Amino acid sequence: MTRDIERLTKKEYDILIVGAGIYGAALAREASLRGLSVAIVDKGDFCGATSANSLKIIHGGIRYLQQGDLPRLRQSMAERRMLM
């Protein structure tokens, strides 16, 4: 993947994704599968923040379990499986 800021300004994109972690990458994939043109920007290296710390990704699921919110826990787990 190249970093060419000038190139980003010369083309129109359907979607601009800010953040290139697992969620940004998954969103970019989904959008491109639907035929949309996608640009991803990130202040740091790709997959260098939340993606580097899996505890941040599973935090929501643990919180839902602690609160007894089983429908939300199931939804969170299903979405995480799709992204991974």
pTM: 0.52
Q: Are 26 and 47 in contact (CB under 8 A)?
A: no
One digit per residue, the tens of pLDDT, for the chain of length 84 reads: 566 778 788 889 999 999 888 788 889 999 999 999 999 888 875 555 555 555 555 555 677 778 888 888 888 888 777 766
Q: What are phi and psi of 16, to 5 degrees?
A: -115, 120
Q: Please count the CA atoms within 13 angstroms of the CA of 70 that sit on its side-chain side.
A: 0
User: Cα(12)–Cα(66) distance, rounded to whole angstroms?
Assistant: 44
